[in-house]
Amino acid sequence: MKSRFSLNLGKPFGIRVSIHWTFSLLIAWIVFITVRQGLGTVQVLMHILFVLTLFVCVVLHEFGHSLTAIRLGGKVKSITLLPIGGMANITEMPENPKDEFMVSAAGPLVNVAIAVILWLYLAFLHPVDVEAMGFEAITAGNFPVMLLAANLFIVAFNLIPAFPMDGGRLFRSALSIHMSRLKATRIAKDIGQVFAIIFIFAGFFINPFLVIIGLFIILGARGEYEMMKYRHILNNYTVGDIVKTDYEELDRDDSLGEAAEKLAHISDRGFVVTSGGEYAGILTKNDLIKGLSTYGKDGMVRDAFSENIEKVAPDATLFDVFKKMQMNRYDMVPVSDNEKFIGILDMESLNEFFLLQKAMS
Ligand SMILES: [Zn+2]
């Protein structure tokens, strides 16, 4: 989730926590519903407080996943809060089934722990008579009971085996003990899609949030399965297998107009930029378009090219490079062997290579 759509809340354990702007729609919706019910200001505020507290539980749930992933060698970039729940951006996930099981289980377990703490509080410190309690609206009296119930609901809902929800991940990790991870993911994904369709259908009658969750499941599962296929194929090849060594060159001191003229006649998607005959950086098609709209055709290559794109080694696996390019939105990367520049690798060729290998496999 891009940060310009989110409000940063902080960076505990090196994980950026932010709240998506659509979250304000949730608050607006709660105000709308509660005011329509005829509730007073204090009660409306109580409902907002409840939702915020519940989302603290959701953040803790995501920290359960994230910190477990980090402990098992994974990497987590951020946690984003959306109206439908939290999303941890785990950039590197431990791959073996046992570790994956632990990472997936850790989230719901946090909510179990919260529920237990609330139950202990209600049982020993603050006994209440649940049967005499009204639950039409959230009040100071029923707040902890409602919060306990909501946490149990989060556990139950997340355990539905709809990949990529937690239950679906647990299911996949169990499957991948007996079969390849790719096949396990495909089965988990297919079952997940069935649940997603049920969610979407039920959502029209019960709660519109279910429709959104259903769509998230469909898109999320497809994206992740596609990524697995990339991994499965591209892990078998290295950068050296497809590096382009007959690239087109430009000098730092060429004009952008010359570059545009040249681009029209070549099949490449960009240029290697040199300075005094030595590699200096890369000018992609996008760099060129951006440069032309800022400086015009008399602008210089040196003002528009990308200088600091991380070089990749010829023996790096194609999947690692693919991931890096996707994460940093690189269209093209320089390939260099111990500081000796060899050539370039661009995203379009990489995708083409993937599709060809997939068609052959
Ligand atoms: Zn979870």
Per-residue pLDDT, averaged over 267-289, amounts to 86
Question: How many whole angstroms from 85 Cα to the centroid of ligand 1?
Answer: 9
Helix or strand (DSSP H, E) at 74: none
Q: What is the pLDDT of residue 128?
A: 75
Give the Cα separation of 271 and 247 in Å (integer).
Answer: 7
pLDDT tens by residue, 181-200: 888 899 999 999 999 999 89
Give the Cα separation of 309 and 334 in Å (integer).
Answer: 7
pLDDT band at 2 (very low <50, low <70, confident <90, very high): very low
Question: How many whole angstroms from 84 Cα to the centroid of ligand 1?
Answer: 12
Copy the structure tokens of residue 274. 């040199």
Per-residue pLDDT, averaged over 88-101, amounts to 82
* Domains, the chain: 3-234 (no CATH), 239-360 (3.10.580.10)
Question: How many whole angstroms from 108 Cα to the centroid of ligand 1?
Answer: 6
Question: How many whole angstroms from 120 Cα to the centroid of ligand 1?
Answer: 24
Question: How many whole angstroms from 143 Cα to the centroid of ligand 1?
Answer: 23
Q: What is the pLDDT of residue 25?
A: 84
pLDDT band at 123 (very low <50, low <70, confident <90, very high): confident
More confident: 84 or 160: 160
Contact 345, 333 (CB under 8 A): yes
Contact 122, 128 (CB under 8 A): yes
- Residue 115: CB atoms within 10 A of its CB come to 20
Question: How many whole angstroms from 157 Cα to the centroid of ligand 1?
Answer: 10
pLDDT tens by residue, 14-66: 888 888 888 888 888 888 888 888 777 888 888 889 988 988 999 999 999 99
pLDDT band at 102 (very low <50, low <70, confident <90, very high): very high
Q: What is the pLDDT of residue 318?
A: 92
pLDDT band at 342 (very low <50, low <70, confident <90, very high): confident
Give the Cα separation of 181 and 189 in Å (integer).
Answer: 12
- Residue 240: CB atoms within 10 A of its CB come to 16
Burial of 174 (0-12, 13-18, 19+ CB in 10 A): middle
Rg, C-alpha atoms of the chain:
26
Question: How many whole angstroms from 273 Cα to the centroid of ligand 1?
Answer: 46
Question: How many whole angstroms from 124 Cα to the centroid of ligand 1?
Answer: 30
Q: What is the pLDDT of residue 308?
A: 84
Question: How many whole angstroms from 101 Cα to the centroid of ligand 1?
Answer: 12
Question: How many whole angstroms from 171 Cα to the centroid of ligand 1?
Answer: 13
pLDDT band at 3 (very low <50, low <70, confident <90, very high): low
Provide the residue type at 172 as one letter. Answer: R
Copy the structure tokens of residue 249. 């060159």
Q: What is the pLDDT of residue 244?
A: 87
Helices (H), the chain: 23-36, 41-71, 97-120, 143-158, 166-175, 181-203, 208-234, 239-242, 256-263, 285-295, 301-304, 318-328, 347-360
pLDDT band at 276 (very low <50, low <70, confident <90, very high): confident
Copy the structure tokens of residue 61. 């749930």
Q: Look at residues 243, 254, 228, 236 and name the one whose alpha carbon lies nearest to residue 314.
A: 243
Pairing of the two strands 16-20 and 75-82:
parallel
- At how many degrees (to 10) do helices 166-175 and 181-203 cross? 150
Q: What is the pLDDT of residue 57?
A: 92
Q: What is the pLDDT of residue 242?
A: 86
Question: How many whole angstroms from 158 Cα to the centroid of ligand 1?
Answer: 6
Question: How many whole angstroms from 63 Cα to the centroid of ligand 1?
Answer: 9
Question: How many whole angstroms from 153 Cα to the centroid of ligand 1?
Answer: 13
Question: How many whole angstroms from 86 Cα to the centroid of ligand 1?
Answer: 8
Q: What is the pLDDT of residue 1?
A: 43
Question: How many whole angstroms from 111 Cα to the centroid of ligand 1?
Answer: 10
Question: How many whole angstroms from 61 Cα to the centroid of ligand 1?
Answer: 6
Per-residue pLDDT, averaged over 197-217, amounts to 88
